[in-house]
Structure 1
Amino acid sequence: MKRLESDSKERHGQRTGLGETEPDRAGGRTAGATCEREPRMPLRFFHGSIRKKLVILVLLATLPPFVVLAFNELAGRRHLVEMAGSDTATLLRGFTEVQRRVTDSTRTLLQTVAAMPEVQAADADEVHTILSTLISANPVYTNAFLLDLDGKVVAGSIPGRPDFDFSDRKHFIEAMETGYFASGEFVVGRAMLRPIFPFAMPVHGPDDLLRGVIIIGVDLSHYGVLFDKSAFPTGSFFGICDHKGRRLFRHPASEATPLGAPIAQEVFLAASRNDGPGIMHSMGSDGPRRIVAYESIRLWSGSEPYMYMFMGFQEAELLRQANIQAVLGGVTIAVSLALALLLAWYAGGRPLARSLEKLTKAACNVGESGRMTPSNLDYSDGEMGQLGKAFDTMGHLLEEREAERNVALVRLSESEEQYRILLESNPAGICLVDPETMAIEFANPAFLRLLGLGPEDVGAIRVSDIHPPEDLEAISESFMRHSRQGVSFSAAIPCLTRGGERILVDISSARVRIYGRVLLAGFFTDITERKRYEDALVVAKEAAEQANRAKDEFLANISHEVRTPLNGVMGMLQLIRVSATSGEQLANVDIAIQSSRNLLRVLNDVLDFSKIEAGKLDLYNEPFDLAGLMRQCVSLFKQQADEKGLVLDSRIDPSARECYLGDEGRIRQVLFNLLGNAIKFTMYGSITLEAYALAHPEPGCERLFFSVTDTGVGIPDSKVDYIFDSFTQVDSSLSRKYKGVGLGLPIVKRLIRLLGGTLVVDSEMGAGTTILFNVQVRIPAKGACVKPKGVPAPESSIPLRVLLVEDERVNMLMARRLLENLGHTVTCAENGEKCLQVLRGERFDVILMDIQMPVMNGMEVTHLIRNSEDFRHVADIPIVALTAHATRRDREAALKAGMNEYISKPFEKEHLEATLQRFAGR
């Protein structure tokens, strides 16, 4: 301090000496004249009066802190903007990863649902149960529907069958055209009437034919909850648009940014033209200028983006406090500087020099150490005191600004710490890879645990070290290709742990820019167990399908092999019945025929039950006469009822129409089973069959109700549900009185459910039972139920020339004798080739054609007869299929091949004769 004072005195003395020689300059050169030499060029700036020098010194003294302040302010603002952009992109990455997970989960979920037999069979009740359970278990979805090939709703997660048409929707059209998982675009849900984002998955049947499409809507509002929990700054927003730039979601919402409207053109063009994530500065649709991060989302690598996500912060809000502080600081510094210059201008002399010395020292301390030291000037010492006060005030302001800057740096450090904790606690493995060297430069703990690595391995290992050698070339090529193109991708890739264990990892990768460097960010999720489970499911599914196919083939073969000999048995019994000479023989033959019919009924029940269980039972919508159906049921069981002394009658309520559209055959099958059981379990009294109709909510439909009431033994309450189980009866003991295989009522229950109805049982032990069921039928158009007049049956049989084509010897012998007993002339051929040889030389009135034969089957023979030039002379001959293939599909196939009629084995003599007589005289 003393050294500084002496130096100051010396400098002050020099200045005083110079002042004393000033008057002598006019008189000539003196000893002091040497001090008047022209100053050197660098010092000429300081040459002049004390006021000028003081002003210059004040400017020089205050300039360093002012420059430091301005530089720090600009650097801080630039750093703040850069960090905000980087943080925004990082936060948006979390949202896009959530959407990719939702999309992948949706794809897997819809694949699983589409593979279910109930969905492939379009069972509306089962599909509703599946979809409603799916929606209730996954709040992220709004509604789900199974659509037919026309885009109409078959069933959905909401009750009933909404009359929605999705045929014009993008996701439905793409799923139908591509046969793969498809995304939609902005749409207002037709069930919930709010914006959703839909996906679609085609449904293929076991034959790989397209059966329909499953669509599901994703509720985007959960992003708002996630956004609110993140505590973003005021003015921030998160938005989503579809591939056309239409706004799907924005949070917080505002009138200036309605859903469905286009987003800012500038933002959408930047996002759509950039293959990867990016950051831009843009004027938002609602006005404020923002820092906006964007990223595209694709269904798979290489596909067009189906969605874009955006996140933005207002630049004004981000820099508001910094701007306020900068303005206040600038104003204060400017005022202080102006005051200091004013005081310097009016100050002068020795006291001013000392004061300036103190100010210079304080200014140097600020410039060198960045710390403010007081000027120690007397604030009451006129203008210099005011200058010292202004300087100290400026110093305190700098200290405050520095303190505020330090607080901002602390907050920035805390923010960085939060992101660090987020990375370290994230369950997904995350790493950063140098695309040039493929070295892993950063890895979070989850990544190290996944591959069994340690912190020391980061930077020392490459991507090639964590992948199997045989897959390395393809993986490296994929990494490099996406790195060059800057395209995000996601794939299931095998990896090797430090211990050599092979695991399967779902890897999502994207190109990111960090402090000017382009790196690859990888997100690793272990899916080894999930893949094993999925593979096990596939194997189990294939095994189940193979078992079903084997079962179907077995049952079809058993049906054919049982019907073939049974046909011979029943035919021979009918021949014996014609020649029976006594009442006892006739009764025995009738018993044998009835037993054969019972065996055939059991066989049909087993086949129907198998088809129902496999979901392969076909239903038909055809016109049928309700009164005729009731008469047929009563007439069939009338003889059995009369034999037991029971009264069997029927009634139709006036509410019922004469004709309906439905599956008459399946309704008849239900009634046959119920009437047969009623007769079996009723010893005396009566059995009544009733029918009535009620309105149905769906236009053009009605509920048709049937009830079967008997006065039989009744059913215990504890057994009502039990009797509808497969292969069960009320009395299952070895000494039970009533026989049966226990398939009738289970088939009834399942058929009623397939027909869109329900069943109710009301029974009292010893008093009787009433079984009430309903089916859904359609009201036919006017004229649809006009009965064809047909060809009237002749009063007496007309002898015909019949060509019998049959490969089984017993059936050929039986059929030939039966036809000859009916008065017909019969020529036999044991296969299709022999049939064609006979037709070349003879003409016949009708051909009875077996289907399954060696050498050439019945379908091939029929096709040649109808289409070959060699058989044009017999191309119009009636052909009747006579086969042990007994399903509706077999009948349809035979008629489609060109046959005129179809009779399944075993057949009744009367039915065969009536069919032949229809072709008499043609």
Structure 2
Amino acid sequence: MVPRTLLDALTSLVVLVGADGRVLDAGAAARTFLGERLAGTIHLRDLIDVVEPSSRVRLRDVVPRALSRTGQWRGTVDLVDTAGNPAPYLLSVRADPDGGFVIAAQDTEDVRAREAAERESRAKDEFVARLGHELRTPLNAVLGFAQLLELEPLAPELHDDVERIITGGRHMQALIDDVLDLARLRAGRGDINKGPVNVLEIVQGVVELVEPLAAQRGIRRVISPAEPLVADADRRRLWQVLLNLVGNALKYGREGGTVRVGIVPVTGGRVRIEVEDDGNGLPPEAMNRLFRPFERLGAERSGVEGSGLGLALSHALVTAMGGVLTAASRYRVGSVFAVVLDTIDVRFDDAYGDPDDDDGFAPVPAVTDRPSAGSEPGTEPVDSRLRVVHVSGDPATRAMVTHVLRSSLGADTVCVPRAALALDAVRRSRPALVLLDRILPDAPVEELLRVLAADATAGQVPAVVLTTDDDPRDLTKLRQAGAVGVVGAPLDVNAVIAAAGHLAVRNGGRHQAAHQ
């Protein structure tokens, strides 16, 4: 029995139930929420009115099945308070060793408050966007008339004044463009067109473009290592982000020093692009203000020009591309900014791609003795006959699945970060199995299953869905859409093999895939 003092200390609504269904105890938060409904309650069924009617139907079958299989269930349920108002709660039910179970419900009020704050933030961004559009009209008139005056036979001093108007106007125009861009991105309406991007090519182009500034300050540029990884990104936007980061490194770096741009593969099928300088760095108290708009962190006193929008816009652009922009700095030592993006595995372009198909990027040569993205050194060598395409928007899940499949089956996993890239990956790599996460970042998994099933090549490859949901209606929908099986998370390799039984025959540690 859990001590009453511990139950009362919990902010969640906690109810302890015995093996016979009797309510044994409840925490203080649960007693307050239940009120008089708890008085005289002997059995759990006496509290049925606490659950909103539409949720009762779903829980009646799902929870007992989950408890018998895994010993726990977790999901969102509408609970009714003493005033009769339903509200969403995150409910978890866990079996205990004595045959009873513990029910815990957590109010999602914090989630709703965060959503309200996000809506307010989006409203502010929309206001800024409208304001920017309003400012553009008079500014365009100012610049237009100033350029007409520039053509007139004016006195030299007046020509200088006109040039100042044009220079200032263009600076303000660029500032408005950045503000509008940032507002659109933060409102979720950014112009992002993702596709395969050769990272090394972009880095080399940016470094070459900033050559005049580097030469002016005597700063040496280093690209390391020069690995031709292909990122899933917007080419123009990635160029914009790296140009800002490398430009900042040159502006704020030590004169006569070094700026290093590193390209590093990261577990989970990602790439990390690092921009490192040996400048003055930033004090710890400045780091939490780094990506705020118009925040220059004291650089305005250095004489270096800037608006304070570059890092805020870069952060929003990387986030919109599904990546992460981080920063680390040591005061008086230097700073490192890192862009982490999903990669696209194009090892099989030469083997299976159409030679007349111009993808707009140079294919990465297939290397048979290197581990697949996200795998760990020292594990069993991959069996190229057992190749799996795994579609997941979560880098941690991609890393986990790659490791499990490699260590258990010696499988070569091709990681795909979103649904839009899945069909092409299957066509190119000819896998033995397609493993799909239930939740994908850009499309419902049912839609992707139907797309794969309709393709002459992909339709021959069994597709299995990885999910934490055990709602039988949902599982039926997935199978109707084309899944040969559904397995639970974390990944159970035996369940995968059972779901796609013809996949592999394990004999003396050898694994063979049946390729169509």
The structure with higher relative contact order (CA 8 Å, sep 6+) is 2
Point out the structure with the larger helix share. 1
Q: TM-score range by the shorter chain?
A: 0.3 to 0.5
TM-score by length of structure 1 reads 0.27
- Point out the structure with max Rg over C-alpha: 1
